[in-house]
Structure 1
Amino acid sequence: MTEPEHPHADALKYEDWAGEMGARWLANLKGFEGTIAPMGEALLARAAFAPRERVIDLGCGGGATSIGIAAAVAPGGSVLGLDISPDLIAATTRRAQQAGAANAKFVCADAGTATLPEAPYDRLVSRLGCMFFSEPVAAFTNLRGQIKPGGRIDLAVWGPPAENPWMTAGMAVAREHVEMPAPVPRAPGPFAFEETGYLREVLTAAGFGHVDIVAATGELPVGGVGSTAEEARAFATNAMAFGQVLLDYPPEVQAAAAADLTALYARHYRQGEGVMMSYCAWLVSATA
């Protein structure tokens, strides 16, 4: 099972959103957005944006949240989508234009250090866009300076790995076939803020107050609504970090892992819904 060091060895520790990961998200945009839609809907429902508000959408990705916010804050409001991936910003700008979201603009920048145009804004929202900061206190301190005093932030981050089998069950199957690095607690990555105490510490140290955290739980469709077990397997291996690790192993290893992943997703398949697996996210609000 031991193989030489490979280029994706750090795939589960750090994801290059400005390069490889941003391009991968774009290439699998429909699958990603279809998968995380239930959590994103819960975030926007809790945020309850209103007309005339000016909003930063941190880590806007493919732009689904930005376009939704643009509609909610009209008339008179606007949204600035911020992402470190130039590929995603270019695609999302086109997508918003096609959707007629004239009050949505997009900037490619590092949220941890950037001074945003027309700051300060009324509010900030982030659907899974804030777990990859290498220096989270410094990044959130910078972001607080882009929001009006008293302005609200709303974040969605993944909860503990054990409560997110939609990700970790596939990872466990992959580990039966290949070696992967063990996750590093609090390191940049999907589960950086699994500990709510740590998340509170970061936001408080960055100057935010009134931190409130609630859980959003339920099931989400791996690969999108209606995906078959094979389609969910293809999404996982093409789009998720553990799938990228598999690519560095011989074809027979990849085939064996693919068969086991398909079997896993088949056990969770429901006709008309897709591959439905449990998730847990923290929905976080605080004031600048």
Structure 2
Amino acid sequence: MSEVAAGNAAMRDAWDGDTGAFWAEHADRFDAAVAGHRGPFLEAAAVVGGESVLDVGCGAGQTTVDLAPRAAPAIVTGIDLSTRLLAIAARRAAAAGLTNTVFETGDAQVHPFPPGGTDVVVSRHGTMFFADKPAAFANLARALRSGGRMVLLTWQGLEHQEWIRSFLTILAAGRDVAFPPPHGPSPLSLGDPDGVRALLEGAGLVDVELTGHRAPMTFGDDPDDAVGYVTGQQAGLLADLSPAAREDAIAALRADLAAHHDELGVRYDSATWIVRARRP
């Protein structure tokens, strides 16, 4: 791995450790969960043949694999902190017969990308966790050629994420609920449109535009299928509970999952921003 910023070391340890192992085990399930946001994001990226692409926080590589056929013969590069997820990404690309994908282990906040070497920077839920976002986005902006564009998929604020509010409240089991903060390394840290515009404009980008998109998140085929996945995501919340309290919390979660079960699966409301910007 190339250099990792000091502020991102804990994130590196998590994503190249137990956190990365969990998401690698459930990579297909996560892709299915956010599938409702996939089409509009790819459409916004608008990648065409011959455009080189950098996929930031590429994880198990679905976006990289989605865009590679569109970008060919240009290269689509995925970068992530998790070696486990990158291994899945490489296997997926090989299974799809792609010859124009490259996967790199690295911290995009400080990675030495070739200046002006990329036509399009994309990220599906991969840019919210930088310790120093101004430095990270300045680094990504430098990677873009003049006229190149950045297209991000980020979560809107907590009030638009039924799934986060429901799961964390239930599994807190009467304790104070520690929702993800709107600042710092957090899933919700790019939820404020004015803050996103200021951040990207501060990195030297122009024509910053945010488009809201709503779609349900799917957590399983039925409550029995979903409960293990959700409790695995939130294992830290359950770890400090007594056995009886843990049993009660899981029962309450199962009931909530059942209330959100329909013919399409166990589904909760969610909302994203599709963020577009351009390097002048």
Same fold (TM over 0.5): yes
| Corresponding residue of 1:165 | 162
> Match for residue 239 of structure 2?
247
Cα distance in 1 for residues equivalent to 2:60 and 2:179: 29
Alignment deviations for residues 243-283 of structure 1 (CA, whole Å, 9 cap, x no partner): 33213333322221111111101111112x10121110000
Single out whichever of 121-130 and 174-183 deviates more from structure 2.
Answer: 174-183
Q: Deviations over 1:17-56 (max 9, x none)?
A: 2333222210111211110111122211221211111000
Distance 1:142 1:258 in 2: 43
Question: TM-score under structure 2 normalisation?
Answer: 0.90
Specify which structure has the higher proportion of helix: 2
CA distance in 2, matches of 1:47, 1:255: 44
The counterpart of 1:267, out of the listed 249, 254, 259, is 259
Residue 28 (structure 1) aligned with residue 19 (structure 2)? no
Aligned pair count reads 269
**Which ranges in structure 1 are unaligned for 5 or more consecutive residues?**
1-12
Q: Matched residue of 2:41: which SS?
A: helix
| d(CA) in 1 for partners of 2:159, 2:196 | 18
- Report the CA distance between 1:87 and its aligned residue: 1.4
CA distance in 2: counterparts of 1:95 and 1:248, whole angstroms: 37
Amino acid at match of 1:268: H
Contact 1:137 1:202 in 2 (8 A): yes
The percentage of counterpart residues that share the same residue type is: 30
Q: Which amino acid aligns with 2:210?
A: I
Cα RMSD after superposing both structures: 1.9
Which amino acid is 1:230 matched to? D
Structure 1 residues 30-89: Cα deviation after superposition (integer angstroms, max 9, x where no partner):
211110111122211221211111000111111111100001112x22200111111111
SS in 2 for 1:25: helix
How far 1:118 sits from its partner (Å)? 8.7
Paired residues of 1:151 and 1:287 also in contact (CA < 8 A): yes
TM alignment of 1:1-288, pairs within 5 A: 16-74=14-72, 76-116=73-113, 120-223=117-220, 227-238=221-232, 240=233, 242-271=234-263, 273-288=264-279
Residues in 1 aligned to 2:180 and 2:152: alpha-carbon distance in whole angstroms: 22
Residue 173 of structure 2 contacts residue 245 of structure 2 at CA under 8 Å; is this kept in 1?
Answer: no
What secondary structure is seen at the aligned counterpart in 2 of 1:154?
strand
Give the distance between the partners of 2:11 and 2:120, measured in 1 at CA: 28
**Code of the aligned partner of 2:246:** Q
| Alignment partners' CA distance in 2, 1:117 and 1:197 | 29
Give me the whole-angstrom Cα distance separating, in 1, the residues matched to 2:179 and 2:154.
Answer: 20
Q: Which amino acid aligns with 1:251?
A: P
Letter of the 2:277 counterpart: A
The answer to whether the 8 Å contact 1:166/1:222 transfers is no
Give, in whole Å, the separation in 2 of the partners of 1:257 and 1:49: 45
Q: Give, as a single letter, the amino acid of the residue that structure 2 aligns with 1:287.
A: R
3-state SS of 2:76 partner: strand
SS in 2 for 1:82: strand
Given that 1:55 and 1:80 are in contact with CA atoms closer than 8 Å, whether structure 2 keeps it comes out as: yes
5+ residue gaps, structure 2, are 1-9
Residue pair 1:170, 1:261 contacting (<8 A) in 2 also:
yes
- Following TM superposition, by how much is the alpha carbon of 1:176 offset from its aligned partner in structure 2, in angstroms? 2.5
Q: 2: CA distance between counterparts of 1:119 and 1:254?
A: 52
Shift in alpha-carbon separation, 1:37–1:111, aligned structure 2, 3 A: same
- Find the aligned partners of 1:266 and 1:259 in 2 and give their Cα distance: 11
Return the alpha-carbon distance in structure 2 between the equivalents of residues 118 and 95 of structure 1. 28
Cα distance between partner residues in 2 of 1:86 and 1:212? 33
- For each residue in 1:83-126, what CA deviation from the matched residue of structure 2 results, as whole angstroms up to 9, or x when unmatched? 11111112211221122111111000000000136961111100
Q: Is the 8 A contact 2:172 2:237 kept in 1?
A: no
Structure 1 residue 163: deviation in Å? 0.9
Q: Following the alignment from structure 1 to structure 2, what is the Cα–Cα distance between the partners of residues 17 and 206?
A: 26
Bigger RCO (CA 8 Å, 6+ sep): 1
Partner of 2:97: helix, strand, or coil? Answer: coil
> Using a 3 Å threshold, how does the CA distance of structure 1 residues 118 and 146 change in structure 2: closer, same or farther?
closer
Runs ≥4 residues deviating over 4 A: 177-180
The answer (yes or no) to whether the contact 1:156–1:281 under 8 Å persists in 2 is yes
